[in-house]
A and B are shown apart, each in its own frame.
Chain A
Amino acid sequence: MDLGRLQQETEYCWHIPAEGPMQGPGILYGDREQILQMDDKVYVQLRNVTMLPGLVGPAYAMPDAHWGYGFPIGGVAAFDADAGGVVSAGGVGFDISCGVRTLHTNLKAADIEAVKTELADALFAGIPAGVGSQGSIRLDPRQMDEMLEGGARWAVDQGYGKAEDLERTEERGCIAGANPADVSEHAKHRQRREMGTLGSGNHYLEVQRVAVIYEPSIGRQFALSEGDIVISIHCGSRGLGHQIGTDYLREMLLAAPDHGIDLPDRELACAPINSELGQRYIGAMRAGMNCALANRQILTYLTREIVRPILPQARLELLYDVSHNICKVESHEIDGTTRQLYVHRKGATRAFGPGNPDLDETLLDAGQPVLIGGSMGTASYVLAGTTQGEAMSLSSACHGAGRAMSRRQARRQYRGRQVVDQLAERGIVIRSPSLRGIAEEAPLAYKDVDRVVDIADRVGLARKVARLEPVVCIKG
């Protein structure tokens, strides 16, 4: 990115000053090198976001920001319904409520060393992953609607998990205001065989070892110690969410002139929150979020069932579940006034600080766990939300490393078998249906997650709590 177009406010904070059609400034977080390495399209996309009607405050780009579609990935922006604000299907994206869930266990690394290949094989056999995989759960139309309204709460009611899981899930497992009637039959049809499936691409289920604890007091509150085994699941709302995104992007794009909206980029397709279309999208998007929460809950159940016969002593308890592609209504203090805003986070993780009333009481002191997924073979992180994050980024932090090279480049540079063998030498067991997929997801195809997380920590968006290193990785 051309630094000449930015104003440097601090070592890690860069502004795109508001001018012309911009409703507010753009703010990017990152050190000089990170900002330099960001594609110029991140600048263009962040600036475009600031032009959307009803923007409140700045639009933000997290340290892992990269070229997305419409919004940059790693983008955050909030809109006020009463000020003509919009909700954007492009600002949420196709994978509605894609997110990470981490389970902590009572296991230590030594407990699984002898069985990790068996564990990898069992997880790969039992967790539907990759293109063409199907879940064993079939929902009739009534059950589908109940799932879309009930989310993880529905899944627990069906026997997929336990009530305590919900206490550690964003929105306690079920976002209110979902309306299955706003979800097309195409979307429901696409979900028919996809409940309890992982998906593909950068989605994964990983068995990880807690390698470092940076904040022992918060680590204790999250029940994490060095050497512990945790299990993380990264996936979203599957075909249902993809189709909701497809359906509403098109409808919002075509309706934009009727709403008097001059889109700076077609992919930013949006509608006024207070319009009939805006309300329909919100009802459908929330159904998509519940689908993602139910899906991750079912995958949790499957994981527990698979682990039990191999490691009968294992207890898998939910640390947290948080989404990073979503638009949610939240209270934020803007210029001394508390306002209800529609906060879009596209590849950015909500990071509520200590004392936030939306958090379960067991997390009030520590702040919300912020789960940062690495790429296959690289570290993941658990962070905690900060108090200052509220003013800096509407309590938002990064979500991962972001790609350093395209899939095409990665395919040319790496061979899947070679990647599997190199990771095996480091004690990491990979299982995936596709060697080409492994090449495209090679660790070096992603940016350095350590650096992204370091900057998020230094800036104060979130605090580093624990570094997780992979032991077993099931790739979709």
Chain B
Amino acid sequence: MRQGSWEHFEHEADIGLRAVAPTRENLFELMGEALTAVITEPGNVRSVETVTVSCEAPDDALLLVDWLNALVYEMATRSMIFSEWQVELHGYKLDARVSGEPIDRLRHQPVVEAKGATYTALAVAQDDEGNWHGQCVVDV
């Protein structure tokens, strides 16, 4: 069960994604949902196909960028949109199963494509209460 919350924050040209979660895994899953929400309402996306995604980076912040960019790539090349994210983390290595469906332009009314995750306003950190916070600006 995924816990925590995500939001979009203001960026003049693009869109900021921000999430807070009790675990790092949940945080990355919520950032995946925040990315889908840039494109369409996540609640309108069915889970009918599953793909696997793996990436590895030197630290959490770069891993977040790599994760979002891997999702951008999978969405672009498969013409898919995602609605479920199951993330496993082993240090700075991420393995995920991601489910969604082919983009349906009438039903999803996709707003904008994500070009890539940037290093602007990028952060991943744990607070004193143990919650994980992450944010990243996505170029659209």
Contacts and interface: CB of A to CB of B under 8 A. Distances in A.
A201 B11 contact: no
Which of A70, A132, A133, A409 counts the most B-chain CB atoms under 10 A from its CB?
A132
A193 B105 CA distance: 16
B15 A408 contact: yes
Given A39-B12, A406-B10, A408-B15, A440 B77 contact: no
A201 B115 CA distance: 10
B120 A267 contact: yes
Given A250-B65, A435-B109, A67 B12 contact: yes
B13 A68 contact: yes
A190 B12 contact: no
Contacts of B79: 132, 134, 193
Contacts of A437: 109-112
B10 A69 contact: no
Interface stretch (A210-218, A240-248, A329-337, A349-357): A240-248
A243 B117 CA distance: 11
Given A93-B139, A250-B65, A407-B140, A69 B119 contact: yes
Given A69-B120, A269-B119, A433-B105, A243 B73 contact: yes
Given A69-B119, A190-B73, A130 B105 contact: yes
B112 A67 contact: no
B15 A407 contact: yes
B137 interface: yes
B11 A406 contact: yes
Contacts, number: 128
A200 B11 CA distance: 18
A189 B77 contact: yes
Which of A73, A269, A408, A435 counts the most B-chain CB atoms under 10 A from its CB?
A408
Given A131-B112, A189-B77, A67 B13 contact: yes
B110 A130 contact: yes
A175 B120 CA distance: 30
B110 A69 contact: no
Contacts of B9: 408
Interface in B1-41: 8-15, 39
Contacts of B73: 186, 190, 243, 246
A254 B58 contact: yes
A402 interface: yes
Interface string A118-138: 000000000000111110000
A266 interface: yes
The number of chain A residues touching the other chain, given as a range, is: 35 or more
A406 to B, nearest CB: 4
A47 interface: no
A192 interface: yes
A242 B116 contact: yes
B113 interface: yes
B113 A131 contact: yes
B53 interface: no
A394 interface: no
Contacts of A70: 118-120
Given A93-B139, A132-B105, A200 B111 contact: yes
A66 interface: yes
Interface string B112-128: 11011111101000000
Contact of B77 (A190, A253, A269): A190
Interface in A63-77: 66-70, 73
A406 B110 contact: no
A154 interface: no
A408 B8 contact: yes
A170 B16 CA distance: 34
B76 interface: yes
Which of B11, B15, B111, B139 counts the most A-chain CB atoms under 10 A from its CB?
B111
Given A242-B115, A433-B105, A433-B109, A69 B137 contact: yes
B115 A402 contact: no
Given A69-B118, A403-B13, A437-B112, 6 more contacts: A66-B13, A186-B73, A239-B77, A246-B117, A265-B119, A406-B11
Interface of B: 8-15, 39, 58, 62, 65-66, 69, 72-73, 76-77, 79, 103-105, 108-113, 115-120, 122, 137, 139-140
The 9 closest A-B pairs by CB, nearest first: A131-B110, A132-B103, A69-B120, A266-B119, A94-B115, A242-B115, A67-B12, A69-B118, A406-B10
Interface of A: 39, 66-70, 73, 90, 93-95, 130-134, 186, 189-190, 192-193, 199-201, 239, 242-243, 245-246, 249-250, 253-254, 265-267, 269, 402-403, 406-409, 433-437, 440
28 contacts: A67-B11, A69-B14, A69-B137, A70-B118, A90-B119, A94-B115, A95-B115, A130-B110, A131-B110, A132-B79, A132-B108, A186-B73, A199-B113, A200-B110, A242-B76, A246-B72, A246-B116, A253-B62, A267-B118, A267-B120, A269-B119, A407-B15, A408-B9, A408-B10, A433-B105, A434-B112, A437-B109, A437-B111
